[in-house]
Amino acid sequence: MTSSDPPATAETTTPNPNVLICDNAEAASLRAAKLFAASLHSWPDLKIGLATGGTPVEMYAQLVRFYEQDLISFAEAKTFNLDEYVGLAADHPQSYRSFMEQQLFSHVNLDPRNAFLPNGMATDVDAEISRYEQLITDSGGIDLQLLGIGHNGHIAFNEPGSAPDSRTRLVDLTERTIASNARFFDSIDDVPKQAITMGIGTILEAKAIVLLALGSDKADAVRLAIEGEVSASHPASFLQTHANVTYVLDEAAAKGLSSALKQ
C-alpha cells in the first residue's frame, strides 16, 4: 500500500457520507469491523492504529470471527496502539499490551514482532517517546486509525487543552479519566496517573480514521466532535480538519446530532 492509496472507508446510511448510524452497539461494532476488514483485505500490509477500552471489544471480537472464517489475514499487517500506561509492565493484566493480547493479538495470525505499543516501563521515557514516534514514521505512517472518544472529548489520552500539532508524549491523566478507568482495576488507587500517548498531530497524520462511539453517555461528546467548534477544549473536534474520518455510532451515541445527520 502506498500513500496515494488510502483505505476506502466510504459507506453511508445518512446524508453525511462520514457518519454511519447503526441500530445498536453490536451493529455499530460490526460495521466498524467490516471497514477494517475491507481495508485489510485490499491491503494485506495495512498499518493499523488500534485503541483500547470498553468500546472496541466487540469490534475486535468481530475481526477475530472474520479471521477464523478465513476472510482476513493479519500476516503482513502492522499495528500501532495509541497509548500505554506508565508504570505497568507489558504482562500486567491491566496493561494495554495485555488488553490487546486478550482481545485480538492472541487470536489472529499477527506477527508479534509487528504489534507495537509504547513501553510503559521504559527507564528513559523521553527516549521511548522519540522511539515510538520514529517507529511510526519509519513505517510510512498509519493507514487506518481506530479511535474511541472520552466523555470530555479526549482521543487517545489527549485531554482538553491538547494542541492539534502535539506528538507522542508523556501525559498526566485527569481525575475524570482516572475515575473512568478505575472499573478495570481493583481500586482507583491502582490506576496509573500517567501514560505515553500518540499526540493529536500524530493521529491526524493517519491516512484514514474511524471513530467508534457507543452509548448515550457519549452523545454530548460525539455532538461536539462532529458539529461543535474546532477547539482544544474538545480534542476530538480536531478530527473535523481531517479529510477522511468515518464516525460509526449506535443510535444512543448519535442522539445529540442535528436532525439532518440522522435522516
> For the chain, how many structural domains are there in total?
1
Query: 46 in a domain, yes or no?
Result: yes
Query: Does residue 181 have an active-site annotation?
Result: no
According to DSSP, the residues that pair with 195 across neighbouring strands are: 85, 171
When pLDDT is cut at 50, 70 and 90, the band that residue 4 belongs to is very low
Task: Record the cell numbers describing residue 123, joined without a space.
Answer: 527507564
Separation of alpha carbons 66 and 60, rounded Å = 10
Query: 23 in a domain, yes or no?
Result: no
Query: 24 in a domain, yes or no?
Result: no
CA nearest 214: which of 57, 46, 93?
57
134 DSSP 8-state letter: H
Which residue out of 58, 81, 154, 158 is catalytically annotated? 154
Which residues lie closer than 8 Å to 32 by C-beta, 6 or more apart?
56, 59, 146, 210, 212, 248
Query: 26 in a domain, yes or no?
Result: no
Query: Does residue 154 have an active-site annotation?
Result: yes
Which pLDDT value is given to residue 54? Answer: 92
* 231-240 b/e (C-beta count within 10 Å ≥ 16 → b): ebebbbbbbe
% residues pLDDT > 70 (the chain)? 92
Query: Does residue 83 have an active-site annotation?
Result: yes
**CA gyration radius for the chain?**
17
Sign of the torsion angle spanned by Cα atoms 177, 182, 185, 189: positive
The whole-angstrom distance between residue 129's C-alpha and the CA centroid of its chain comes to 18
Task: Say if strands 144-147 and 208-213 run parallel, antiparallel, or are unpaired.
Answer: parallel
Which residue out of 18, 119, 152, 158 is catalytically annotated? 152
Task: Say if strands 169-172 and 194-197 run parallel, antiparallel, or are unpaired.
Answer: antiparallel
Separation of alpha carbons 144 and 6, rounded Å = 8
Digit-coded pLDDT (tens) for 59-83: 999 999 999 999 999 999 999 999 9
Tell me: pLDDT of 5 over 80: no
Query: Does residue 159 have an active-site annotation?
Result: yes
Separation of alpha carbons 39 and 48, rounded Å = 10
When pLDDT is cut at 50, 70 and 90, the band that residue 183 belongs to is confident
When pLDDT is cut at 50, 70 and 90, the band that residue 181 belongs to is confident
Query: 125 in a domain, yes or no?
Result: yes
Which residue out of 83, 128, 143, 250 is catalytically annotated? 83
Digit-coded pLDDT (tens) for 22-67: 999 999 999 999 999 999 999 999 999 999 999 999 999 999 999 9
Separation of alpha carbons 150 and 234, rounded Å = 10
174: domain CATH number is: 3.40.50.1360
Tell me: pLDDT of 17 over 60: no
Which residue out of 159, 181, 234, 250 is catalytically annotated? 159
CA nearest 86: which of 50, 51, 117?
117
Owning domain of residue 92: 35-262
Mean pLDDT of 95-120: 97
